[in-house]
Amino acid sequence: MTTQSTPTHPQNVGSENVANSDALERCPIMPTYGPPSVQFMKGEGSYLYDHTGKRYVDWLAGIAVTSLGHSHPAIAEAISEQANTLLHVSNLFATEHQVPIAMMLDSMIGDGEPAGGQVFYANSGAEANEAALKLARRYGGHGRHVVVTALESFHGRTLSTLAATGQPSKWEAFQPLPEGFRHVPWADLDELERVLDETVAAVFLEPVQGEGGVNPATIEYFRGVRKLCDERDILFMVDEVQAGLGRTGKWFGFQHFLEGDDRPDVITMAKALGNGMPIGACWAKADAAAAFSPGDHATTFGGQPMATSAARATLETMLAIDAPTMAAEKTELFKTALLAIDGVDSIRGLGLLMAAELVGVDARKVAARCLQEGLVLNGVTDTALRMTPAITIDASVIEEGAQILAGVIAAVREEG
Ligand SMILES: *Cc1c(COP(=O)(O)O)cnc(C)c1O
């Protein structure tokens, strides 16, 4: 056996060397994400610090994950206490935080009143969605298993959530995908109605298409979907993985479009639920949840004590600070700061899940340059930047980021 040279991971070589092809060739990490450009070591509130100590304004929050900011003391304390108490036992047994979290989520979904649903815990957004997709099949029964989703949607990267994702370019390399998915144009009720035959078990939509370019639904669309589903006993399932938990100015994105008991049958969430700890959840109205019986679905880690301790502290903190109201206030500050920048044409989105449409510059180039200049955000299309900052971001940090962005847009425009 020949002795191999020790592989060098980009994380060990510092950001200057990350683009070095020799270092990448020996990287032990699979090439699914492309070469990382920065290695972050530390986060505090809405600031990040790289391995050289350089500080960055964070307008991305891990793509809508650390909604309470980095290193939040309540979550850090909950995690460290749990680490010294009980890490894991398996879902054959009850653990401390599952029921309190489910009750908090149920009352957020009911806008302060119990909504009467039940929760399944998962480890990620895709897994929360897998639970919803399996529930739809169990609810519909054999022969009535089709799930209808929207074009440009994003529901995850596992095989079935990829099949649900309405982006054909992402499917090609992985054919054949699981069958039973139908895709319709976004926000088009007529096209949706046309495909709702007797094989359809559920319609599954995001309240704001996040990865698809930040496209919010409308009252007319969601009410129309609710009605079409009610008439046919089809489940209306909403993917709140990115929009959920206060970010949009309401606890859940669908609450901008549906009122009172007129809510979705199934709601999935993940990203912000553990403020960075991996946890997902699938909530369903009790009559839909009743389609599952013991043995139908399970996960080893889903809902385990460590993740749920973080989720409990996250939700308790969000309730204590009234996160939706705070998000709505910060949204106004962002809009004012962004629209004052030369080159920002318009803002769209729902609350702090927003995109800025640029004119005369390549948005992905702007995002890359912002990172160099110490501002973290995302180029979500060729012409739009996506911002998903912490709900707790300070006004001064919004201002600081806006100044960096204004400088970068001006510089990139100058270069032509
Ligand atoms: C991020 C995301 C997912 C996938 O979540 P993972 O935790 O990455 O599996 C699913 N749906 C939406 C809307 C998302 O934004």
Ligand 1 atom nearest the C-alpha of 209 is 13
pLDDT at position 34 is 87
**Distances, alpha carbon 386 to alpha carbons 99, 169, 279, 299, 340, in Å:** 35, 21, 23, 33, 17
Q: Are residues 278 and 176 in the same domain?
A: yes
How are beta strands 215-216 and 208-209 bridged, if at all?
antiparallel
How many Cα neighbours within 13 Å face the side chain of 74?
16
Q: Are residues 250 and 148 in the same domain?
A: yes
Q: How many CB atoms lie within 10 A of CB 359?
A: 12
For residue 158, the CA-to-ligand 1 centroid distance in Å is: 10
DSSP 178: P
Best CA proximity match to 226, nearest among 265, 187, 199, 195: 265
pLDDT single digits (tens) 61-81: 999 999 999 999 999 999 999
Q: How many CB atoms lie within 10 A of CB 405?
A: 28
pTM across the whole model: 0.94
Domain count, the chain: 2
Ligand 1 atom nearest the C-alpha of 278 is 7
- Of 300, 321, 342, the residue at which a domain comes to its end is 321
Residues with CB under 6 A from ligand 1: 124-126, 129, 154-156, 206, 210-211, 239, 241-242, 270-271
Ligand 1 atom nearest the C-alpha of 126 is 9
Q: Is residue 33 part of a domain?
A: no
Q: Are residues 138 and 212 in the same domain?
A: yes
Name the closest-CA residue to atom 8, ligand 1.
125
pLDDT at position 8 is 41
Q: How many CB atoms lie within 10 A of CB 91?
A: 15
pLDDT at position 202 is 99
- In whole angstroms, what separates CA 416 from the centre of its chain? 34
Q: How far apart are CA 53 and CA 15, in angstroms?
A: 12
Tokens of 274: 């553990």
Q: Are residues 279 and 364 in the same domain?
A: no
CATH number at residue 360: 3.90.1150.10
pLDDT at position 148 is 99
How are beta strands 146-150 and 181-184 bridged, if at all?
parallel
For residue 37, the CA-to-ligand 1 centroid distance in Å is: 22
What is the span of the domain harbouring residue 389? 38-59+323-415
Q: Are residues 342 and 260 in the same domain?
A: no
Q: Is residue 42 part of a domain?
A: yes
- Of 321, 343, 362, the residue at which a domain comes to its end is 321
Is-contact 315 105, C-beta < 8 A?
yes
Q: What angle do CA 352, 358, 363 make, to 5 degrees?
A: 85
Q: Are residues 51 and 133 in the same domain?
A: no
Q: Is residue 9 part of a domain?
A: no
3-state secondary structure of 366: helix
Q: Is residue 11 part of a domain?
A: no
pLDDT at position 389 is 98
For residue 253, the CA-to-ligand 1 centroid distance in Å is: 15
Q: How far apart are CA 127 and CA 269, in angstroms?
A: 10
Best CA proximity match to 191, nearest among 226, 216, 221, 164: 221
Q: Are residues 411 and 316 in the same domain?
A: no
**What secondary structure does DSSP assign to 302-317, as a single string?**
TT-HHHHHHHHHHHHH
Q: Is residue 25 part of a domain?
A: no
Ligand 1 atom nearest the C-alpha of 239 is 13
CATH number at residue 199: 3.40.640.10
Q: Is residue 260 part of a domain?
A: yes
Is-contact 262 90, C-beta < 8 A?
no
pLDDT at position 102 is 98
Residues (pLDDT < 50) of the chain are: 1-10, 12-19
Q: Is residue 26 part of a domain?
A: no
Q: Are residues 214 and 282 in the same domain?
A: yes
Beta strands per DSSP E along 214-254: 215-216, 235-239
**What secondary structure does DSSP assign to 58-84, as a single string?**
ESSHHHHT-TT-BT-HHHHHHHHHHHT
pLDDT at position 24 is 52
Bridge partners of residue 385, in order along the sequence: 356, 379
Q: Are residues 196 and 224 in the same domain?
A: yes
pLDDT at position 166 is 98
As a whole number, the mean pLDDT across the chain is 94
Q: How many CB atoms lie within 10 A of CB 232?
A: 13
Q: Is residue 47 part of a domain?
A: yes
pLDDT single digits (tens) 205-233: 999 999 999 999 999 999 999 999 999 99
- Of 277, 293, 321, the residue at which a domain comes to its end is 321
Q: Are residues 292 and 369 in the same domain?
A: no
Name the closest-CA residue to atom 5, ligand 1.
125
Q: Are residues 141 and 284 in the same domain?
A: yes
pLDDT at position 26 is 75
Q: How many CB atoms lie within 10 A of CB 293?
A: 8
Is-contact 253 240, C-beta < 8 A?
yes
Asked if omega into 176 is within 30° of 0 (cis), the reply is yes
For residue 129, the CA-to-ligand 1 centroid distance in Å is: 8
3-state secondary structure of 116: coil
Q: Are residues 306 and 227 in the same domain?
A: yes
Ligand 1 atom nearest the C-alpha of 157 is 9
For residue 128, the CA-to-ligand 1 centroid distance in Å is: 9
